[in-house]
Amino acid sequence: DQQVKQNSPSLSVQEGRISILNCDYTNSMFDYFLWYKKYPAEGPTFLISISSIKDKNEDGRFTVFLNKSAKHLSLHIVPSQPGDSAVYFCAARFGNQFYFGTGTSLTVIP
Amino acid sequence: DVKVTQSSRYLVKRTGEKVFLECVQDMDHENMFWYRQDPGLGLRLIYFSYDVKMKEKGDIPEGYSVSREKKERFSLILESASTNQTSMYLCASSTRDRDFKNIQYFGAGTRLSVL
């Protein structure tokens, strides 16, 4: 049973516009959330994270929002750039384990 | 610069073969993980280890075993490979310090095909 879900398998956005990637989870015990970015033929790389005690974390063009009541996480990329085209995974931590979503493939169109 | 190295990028094996996937990290991390990535299923945890000679089952351990004899090395073993184990396998490591971000660092992956 998938505890972390990314319901949009793909997303296309024009360069310069905002990309919003969404993630839903079911386990209220998750205490830490992360976003990873994956290019083809490479392993995922860490992008940004947020603790469950916060509702927003910002790092340059990337902002992660956490809505605990809705069990919803989102990643905003502003402005989007062609180099952002990749698969994005959200992940949530419980204990020593991380639970990953199925990924959203983002294409930024020049 | 942090580094997680998986011994093979591509591997082709036959049904019934015993397969070893090796992973080495140079960051002195306590935790190491093995995932498989399949289309539409994301990353699923097979096994993880939080110390030398320690291991814990993840979500899909059936058909796999692991070995962690040294802190830097974590091996995934397919005892008798089957076609449904054809997948991308990803190794990761992280520090145990929970006050830290607990970021996982991933290797580039091994694409295994079982014929």
* Nearest-CA distance B107 → chain A (Å): 5
Residue whose tokens read 């698969």: A87
Q: Which of residues 75-114 of B touch A (CB under 8 A)?
A: 90, 92, 101-109
Q: At A23, which helix (H) or strand (E)? A: strand A19-25
Count of CA atoms in the C-beta half-sphere (13 A) of B16: 0
Residue A61, phi-psi category: left (phi > 0), alpha (psi -120 to 50), beta (remainder): alpha
The pLDDT of A7-21, averaged and rounded, is: 96
Give chain A's radius of gyration (CA, Å).
13
- Tell me: pLDDT of B93 over 70: yes
Chain A residues lying within 8 Å of B40, measured CB to CB:
9, 102
Per-residue pLDDT tens over the stretch A55-100? 999 999 999 999 999 999 999 999 999 999 999 999 999 887 889 9
Go through chain B and tell me how many residues it has. 115
DSSP secondary structure code for residue B14 in this structure: -
Q: Is B55 helix (H, G, I), strand (E, B) or coil?
A: coil
Task: Decide if B87 contacts B35 (C-beta within 8 A).
Answer: no
* Nearest-CA distance B66 → chain A (Å): 16
pLDDT at residue B40, as a whole number: 83
**What type of residue sits at position A87?**
V
> What residue in B sits closest to A35 (Cα-Cα)?
B103
DSSP secondary structure code for residue A68 in this structure: T
Q: Which of residues 66-105 of A touch B (CB under 8 A)?
A: 89, 91, 93, 96-103
Give the integer Cα–Cα distance in Å for B32 and B21: 13
Per-residue pLDDT tens over the stretch B51-76? 999 999 998 999 999 999 999 999 99
**Would you call A100 and B35 a contact, using CB atoms and an 8 Å cutoff?**
yes
